[in-house]
Amino acid sequence: MSFATHPPRDGLRFRLQPLIDLIFPPRCAARGCGRRGSWLCDACRAAIQPLPAGSCQRCALRSDELGPCPACLRRPMPFARCFAAGAYEAPLSDAIRAFKYRRQVGLAPILAGLAANAIASDRHVDRVVALPSHPSRVAERGIDHTARLAVGVAERIGLPLASDCLRRRRATQAQVGRSASARAANVAGAFTVGSEVGCQGLRILLVDDVMTTGATASEATRALIQAGAASVDLCLVARALPPRLVGTRPDHYNSSSDRGSCGLRTTHH
């Protein structure tokens, strides 16, 4: 079985970044910090809000049960496990937005490392796959952010990257501001698995930056399962939490500018 491992189409920017950092030392991307010397300083890394204790193994929201929460037992998401470095709150959300929208590509290995470190040591997977953005969205942003995260995660955990496995069949509208049902409808049928890059019988680690309602990750997982994947685990930089689960932070770490109508912190691909 052959797996394509082509690098993302934004290579020049990433190859030049170490040189740029030598000439212009980076500043911490967390809002209100700006310390020189790192894209995300040690103090801000330490301030990342962890997921609630006892989080559901499948959806990563708080649960009083061991294993899947009652909501997942009633209507389970198709992926088996969800691992995330922390909650989608500052300073982690600041770093994600700086990487994704302001092209601060020096954050890619940092965020990928945080995501990889969240993976449970007892989980076994065979291939790493990025949850892909549509080419038009990549061109708009100037970076293929999930592909870069997947490259970093694969390098960190020492597994092959199937970079051309999962593809966007069509462009979708931004998910920001949509209800959970509207999000699901928006991404329905949006993904396909390349016929020349099979996943039959393989345990897939699907990499994304943020999950809000799980609609996009669920649709991508269904495409992989329908193509023969044995299982899919989700590896995230951050999980968006309902407001009731969001912990308190100093003023410059609190942000409500990216709330969607579903009441969760939101993102889009």
Question: Using one digit for the tens of pLDDT, what is the confidence trace for 216-249?
Answer: 999 999 999 999 999 999 999 999 998 655 553 4
The whole-number average pLDDT for the span 143-170 is 91
259 domain residue, yes or no: no
Stretch 144-165: mean pLDDT, rounded? 93
**The residue to which tokens 């989980």 are assigned:** 123
Residue 149, pLDDT score: 97
More confident call, 211 vs 265: 211
Residue 43 lies in a domain: yes
With respect to residue 99, please indicate whether it lies within any of the assigned structural domains.
yes
Residue 61, domain member (yes or no): yes
157-179: average pLDDT = 76
The structure's pTM equals 0.80
Strands 231-239 and 203-211: parallel
Is 90 exceeded by the pLDDT of residue 117? yes
**C-alpha neighbours within 13 Å on the C-beta side of residue 87:** 26
pLDDT in tens, 11-37: 555 565 565 555 667 899 999 998 998
Establish if 17 belongs to a structural domain. no
Which of the residue ranges 14-23, 67-76, 186-195 would you say has the lowest mean pLDDT?
Answer: 14-23
CATH of the domain at 32: 3.40.50.2020
Q: Has residue 175 got a pLDDT over 80? A: no
Domain count across the chain: 1
* Amino acid occupying residue 51: L
DSSP-assigned states of every residue in the chain: -----PPPTTHHHHHHHHHHHHHS--B--STTT--BT-SS-HHHHHTPPPPPTTB-TTT-SB-SSSSS-HHHHHS--SSSEEEEEEES-TTHHHHHHHHHHS--GGGHHHHHHHHHHTS-TT---SEEEE-PPPHHHHHHHSS-HHHHHHHHHHHHHT--B-TTSEEESS-----TT--HHHHHHHHTT-EEE-TTS--TTPEEEEEEEEESSSHHHHHHHHHHHHTT-SEEEEEEEEE---GGGPPP--GGG---TTB-TTSSB----
Q: Which domain holds residue 106?
A: 25-253
Q: What is the mean pLDDT of the chain?
A: 80
> Which range is least confidently modeled, 124-138, 175-189, 251-265?
251-265
Q: Is residue 267 part of a domain?
A: no
Residue 71 is assigned to a structural domain of this protein = yes
Of 193, 203, 105, nearest to 160 (Cα)? 203
Report the Cα 104 to chain-centroid distance in Å.
Answer: 16
The confidence band for 65, taking pLDDT boundaries of 50, 70 and 90, is low
Contacts 24+ apart (CB under 8 A), 218-222: 218/77, 218/78, 218/79, 218/184, 219/184, 219/187, 219/188, 219/189, 219/190, 219/191, 220/131, 220/166, 220/191, 221/77, 221/78, 221/79, 222/78, 222/191
The reply to whether 4 falls in a domain is no
Give the model's confidence band at 197: pLDDT under 50 very low, under 70 low, under 90 confident, else very high.
Answer: low
- Determine the Cα–Cα distance for residues 263 and 265; give it in Å rounded to an integer: 7
